[in-house]
Structure 1
């Protein structure tokens, strides 16, 4: 999570405002225009409701100050610009304080279809809608608080619960699989793939289980071959009240599952 970024962070001015160029605003505009139809078709109701509440601008990159004003009135959260990649310790600490870290740059046209690291489109279009919901916001804060109790060697275990839910979680609505996670909402190619409407093949779907999730390895630079499906969203919210570090220790004692993907060497 703290590997070197291919992009340079943009620095806010004294008023918390970030200057984006006309081309950067155009990239945001085109990303939103392309993604909205897929969101309407494939994203779960809580995300769509949150997106409506955020009322994000379609023609320019939003400012974190404006996003914070909206979220602050709904769930007490705020959005703070950060470099593209931050360490797990800082990430957990910010979540524990109801602060969402948002990479301040936006992708170039070269990475328009797919970017390996989070940019402002992923952070804002992907994450802020669920943070309008007190239940999802509470779960994210619980992950952060658990991270404060974790040792560095535990970070990669705990983050899997966030990865397979808030980032790449699925749920079921009316008998249909719908996407819930931010990484899916902001990805034009992975969103249809995740719900079984990709151009070729289908992913593996497994039932939501905290210990199983903590034991499941993943890669950040590919479409996920495996997703966990929440049949009842209350199961996710109940996880916020668990002793998550006890869950991590139980998962560590049982060990990781075999990966469902090839390693980076192929």
Structure 2
């Protein structure tokens, strides 16, 4: 067990600050973020070229070092050594809050294991910004990061989320927007409400609201540009009832084959069918094996 007193100066080690940066509009940079970036000994950045532009704009002269997915195993231990020797470090991502869908989470974990205080400096966040303008429920939501790229795993992931009642949020690259909407149409009700938000806080910010089918038809006629944030309505009571009803007419083998035709391998298809029926997958596997 560990209890962190973030601002109690009783440690020889430095502190790791997680600093939020703008997701597009530089005016979203907070006064506190600027002050912290100026006061720490080092700024660790995912993309030093991008961060250098930000630091130049705000007249920040702090030493800049690189920390990203491809060098984290070499750079991480060196950053920890600096922290343990008393230097404080500000970790930033290309845009928004660090440690969300980037290697910063690994550095946070290592710092905590080493007894280093980790302090958040809040700022802009694309997922929450998209959520609050979507018009969909904000009472409960799940952030999914980036969905699987492979079609089979994408369908499996969406299938596992089919009955989730909370609002779903995820990021998507422009070249994958149509593919993801197609997968959503294959697994979820086409009448679910969705909001596609792109270019948040920038000049061409746009929010596309409608059903999955309407948004798919719109994107067929309009080229996807910029990074997208999907905000999707959770499963409705009617959709939940239909999701139960669709497989009740199937035999066990037919139920499994349904998922196989969707792209799942047989092992995964058995797992999904067993989950639908709330039965142990081993029991379903044994039943099917006996039949063969």
TM-score interval, normalised by the smaller of the two chains: under 0.3
What TM-score do the two structures reach when normalised by structure 1? Answer: 0.25
**Which structure has the larger Rg?**
2
> Which structure carries more strand by proportion?
2
TM-score, structure 2 normalization: 0.24
